[in-house]
Structure 1
């Protein structure tokens, strides 16, 4: 035999669930704001960002130098026959 709940008990249960859901949504909203705040992420990971920028600079610079060398023919003029 299952115990029957009164309408008032059901209402209280629904209201409690609604309040818990509201708190969970607010907590989630705060976490999303924190995770997507790129300025604070940049401050928190400044060292990694600087290293990444340096690596990217070397890669882009090396690519530009290689293309420039191919276009100007400097690579071909260094060959010894």
Structure 2
């Protein structure tokens, strides 16, 4: 038969669990705040962000130029055929 605990022991255990839970929540709150701070994340990875922005601009610029070439190139070809 397992040993029985007194009401005082149970209360003390509950209080210890509350303290531990409170401390764990504070740690978790700090970690969530740190992970969701996009400015800090961006500052930490500034080089990578600049490279990603440059690549994105290059791809978008090339995509726009390609579409423009296709659209305006067709018009030129149609004029040449006439």
Aligned length: 77
Assess, with a 3 A threshold, how the Cα gap between structure 1 residues 44 and 38 changes in structure 2: closer, same or farther.
Answer: same
Q: CA RMSD in A?
A: 1.7
Q: Deviation at 1:2? A: 1.6
Q: What is the CA–CA distance in structure 1 between the aligned matches of 2:5 and 2:76, rounded to whole Å?
A: 87
Relative to total residues, which structure has the larger helix share, 1 or 2?
2
What 5-or-longer segments of structure 1 have no aligned partner? none
- The answer to whether the Cα contact below 8 Å between 1:42 and 1:49 also exists between their aligned partners in 2 is yes
- The normalised TM-score by structure 1 is 0.88
Does 2:36 match 1:28? no
